[in-house]
Structure 1
Amino acid sequence: MCNMDFSRFPLDSQTCSLELESWWYNRLYINFTLRRHIFFFLLQTYFPATLMVMLSWVSFWIDRRAVPARVSLGITTVLTMSTIITGVNASMPRVSYIKAVDIYLWVSFVFVFLSVLEYAAVNYLTTVQERKERKLRERFPCTCGISHSKTMMLDGNYSESDANSLAGYTRNQMVPEEEKQEKMVVHLAMSNESNSSRKRGLRGHVGLRIIQNTHAIDKYSRLIFPGTYIFFNLIYWSVFS
């Protein structure tokens, strides 16, 4: 019989003792040190788990409006990590403490699960943004298709002109030839253009922060998730190897 401690499994080493005793009470102690070949576990456990975590990061580069793609990718990685954890635990003796492989697999599972929650946050903020923009459009309807626009001359008089006329400085055909140098028609496009710009600016100001936050989540996740996972691997392998 040999009592083994699997708290560092599969990066553990086990020491088993053998005691021999003769008729004359002479005793011989032999210690066997058992070490595992880590390559098998790297290939069957660690490498697939790392690939699943890296695969979950692909969703950060997918458009946030592609809901089926990002949701399917997140669910697939979560289910695959659950399968890996179940398979490893099925081949292990039932112990009441946490093993080293459990730490690695469950931390990897947390990273995969957080990537799903990350998209949930992005999708929620996008929905809030669209809802606010819809309310603003209903409150401030756009009046872009106006058939007439006011025209102001340089002398301060206003006249009605067709909205299809060219904007800018044009000569008024009704003005005599000698007065063409004095009176230039300036199409100010006063058909609520300034008001529309103001309303668009208001909508942009309200929705800008949400848009930036929505993009910032994916943008920063591309750096935070890989950096944190690499930092975890450095600590893990330095402690248990």
Structure 2
Amino acid sequence: MKPTALALRLLYLAWLWPTTLLSESQFPSRRKHKDVYLGENTRHKHGGRIDFKMKKSDSTKSLLIKSEQLLRIDDHDFAMRPGFGGSAIPVGIDVQVESIDSISEVNMDFTMTLYLRHYWQDDRLAFPSSSNKSRTFDSRLVKKIWVPDVFFVHSKRSFIHDTTMENIMLRVYPDGNILYSVRITVTALCSMDFSSFPLDTQNCSLELESCWYNRLYINFILRRHIFFFMLQTYFPTMLMVMLSWVSFWIDRRAVPARVSLGITTVLTMSTIITGVSASMPQVSYVKAVDIYLWASFLFVFLSVIEYAAVNYFTTVEEMKKLKRGKLPVSYDATQAMAYDGCFHDNELDLSPFPELPTTPSTEQAAPPRNSSAEPPPTEGTRLWRKRSVRHNINFIMSNSYMIDSYSRIIFPVAYLLFNIIYWSLYS
């Protein structure tokens, strides 16, 4: 190397060295955060830009380590309960019900969302503090310490809410007291008694138990609103029963009208009973709604039977009159029964038969009424009762239209009496 070139190089180094020292003296923080500025220079090469004020060191990891060190997580075996080997630990529990989501009569269960809170003391988690009254943690620390083994006894399904993260909170106080809160949705069994359904009141209990074998009962008194069932079951049933009474005001010879009305009401009642039974559990006892539905069905069925009796007695009486000659020869009883209310009794010739002439033989054959050999029957004899019942039956058969007249009063009064007894017993 030539001497001239060597002198120029030494001169360059002499100029560069003071400048470097001046830069480090003016910015001492460059030596402390050399790696930060190195990353900044690297990003400038890729075209990125970082604000100097926003760049700070991340201390989350160090704080987490400090929290675990403060609570001495690694110094104890948290697989054991506090004070293991001594007396039992008292654990306080309270429940805040957020909502009762559903009550199912078919499955005999109820679903609710609640906040379940536990309170206990663990001296192993006590920490010295002069400023913080408590420290709050999430579910990550819960997995590292001891918590009470509380579970729901008759739970069918349950889960802890995890949106947007697990709904678990752990709060530790300096003296070792702990609050553990969790948000749960649980579906629990409820043994319901439907003897008075839907006028019933159910007592459902949520039971919590621990391997200390203690059980906590939380009772819920559930009273059913009747208005929904009045609209869906009771009012339609009442209307069908009253509709079946319309046939009592239709002429007894209007066979198609009265038969179709009776069959329609019977089928409608069957549909209502089937719909109610499908939405109820299959229990072995009779429910209050079953009594009302089947009693109403009986009233509808009896209205059909009533017309069958009226039609039969009318047919029998008209056939008797036809044989006796009280009806014209051209009268067709079958055709008259098919008329739509156009045929009436006043159209018939109901003139009585002429009295038969009496002859001496008939007068001698007829026994005297006041004969001493056979006294007349008294009112208390059995023969008089037989003649009375027979006379009443003959009177009803000869006046079958009176059955409809009596039914117009008997059926509504009986149904009204049934409703009074029913609602007074179950309401």
TM-score by length of 2: 0.40
Contact 2:321–2:327 (Cα < 8 Å) also in 1: no
**Counterpart in the other structure of 2:268:** 80
| Counterpart code for 1:221 | S
**Counterpart in the other structure of 1:199:** 353
- Structure 2 CA distance for aligned equivalents of residues 139 and 49 of structure 1: 44
Q: Does residue 7 of the first structure (1) align with residue 195 of the second (2)?
A: yes
How far 1:60 moved relative to its partner?
0.3
Report the CA distance shift for 1:223/1:201 in structure 2 as closer, same or farther (over 3 A).
Answer: farther
Structure 2: where are the runs of 5+ without partners?
1-188, 330-349, 357-393
Q: Does residue 16 of the first structure (1) align with residue 204 of the second (2)?
A: yes
| Counterpart code for 2:419 | N
- Structure 2 CA distance for aligned equivalents of residues 129 and 109 of structure 1: 31
Report the CA distance shift for 1:105/1:226 in structure 2 as closer, same or farther (over 3 A).
Answer: same
Structure 1 counterpart SS, 2:195: coil
How far 1:229 moved relative to its partner?
0.3
Structure 2 counterpart SS, 1:93: coil
How far 1:130 moved relative to its partner?
0.6
How far 1:197 moved relative to its partner?
5.8
Q: Does residue 117 of the first structure (1) align with residue 289 of the second (2)?
A: no
Structure 2 counterpart of 1:223, from 409, 416, 426: 409
Alignment of 1:109-148 (within 5 A): 109-137=297-325
| Counterpart code for 2:235 | F
Alignment of 1:25-174 (within 5 A): 28-137=216-325
| Counterpart code for 1:217 | I
Report the CA distance shift for 1:23/1:98 in structure 2 as closer, same or farther (over 3 A).
Answer: closer
Contact 2:244–2:261 (Cα < 8 Å) also in 1: yes
- Between Structure 1 and Structure 2, how many residues are aligned? 182
| Counterpart code for 1:213 | N
Structure 2 counterpart SS, 1:34: strand
How far 1:35 moved relative to its partner?
1.2
Flag as ranges the 4+ runs of structure 1 deviating above 6 A: 22-26, 138-141
Q: Deviations over 1:126-151 (max 9, x none)?
A: 0011101100118998xxxxxxxxxx
| Counterpart code for 1:238 | S
Report the CA distance shift for 1:201/1:41 in structure 2 as closer, same or farther (over 3 A).
Answer: farther
Structure 1 counterpart SS, 2:402: helix
Report the CA distance shift for 1:129/1:55 in structure 2 as closer, same or farther (over 3 A).
Answer: same
| Counterpart code for 1:106 | W
| Counterpart code for 1:63 | D
How far 1:213 moved relative to its partner?
3.4
Structure 1 counterpart SS, 2:280: coil
Q: Give aligned-pair identity as a percent.
A: 74
Higher relative contact order (CA 8 A, sep 6+): 1
- Structure 1 CA distance for aligned equivalents of residues 414 and 327 of structure 2: 44
Q: Deviations over 1:162-220 (max 9, x none)?
A: xxxxxxxxxxxxxxxxxxxxxxxxxxxxxxxxxx9651799xxxxx9356631221011
Structure 1: where are the runs of 5+ without partners?
142-195, 203-207
Q: If you compute each CA radius of gyration, which structure gives the higher value, 1 or 2? A: 2
**Counterpart in the other structure of 1:154:** none
Q: Deviations over 1:78-97 (max 9, x none)?
A: 00000000000011111111
Structure 1 counterpart SS, 2:325: helix
| Counterpart code for 2:407 | S
**Counterpart in the other structure of 1:180:** none
| Counterpart code for 1:199 | F
- Structure 1 CA distance for aligned equivalents of residues 403 and 282 of structure 2: 40
How far 1:27 moved relative to its partner?
5.4
| Counterpart code for 2:195 | S
- Structure 1 CA distance for aligned equivalents of residues 312 and 216 of structure 2: 70
**Counterpart in the other structure of 1:240:** 426
How far 1:18 moved relative to its partner?
2.5
- Structure 1 CA distance for aligned equivalents of residues 211 and 407 of structure 2: 71
How far 1:223 moved relative to its partner?
0.6
Report the CA distance shift for 1:197/1:37 in structure 2 as closer, same or farther (over 3 A).
Answer: closer
Structure 1 counterpart SS, 2:399: helix
Contact 1:140–1:199 (Cα < 8 Å) also in 2: no
- Structure 1 CA distance for aligned equivalents of residues 405 and 328 of structure 2: 32
- Structure 2 CA distance for aligned equivalents of residues 26 and 10 of structure 1: 35
Coordinate RMSD, CA, aligned: 2.6
Report the CA distance shift for 1:64/1:200 in structure 2 as closer, same or farther (over 3 A).
Answer: farther
- Structure 2 CA distance for aligned equivalents of residues 6 and 43 of structure 1: 19
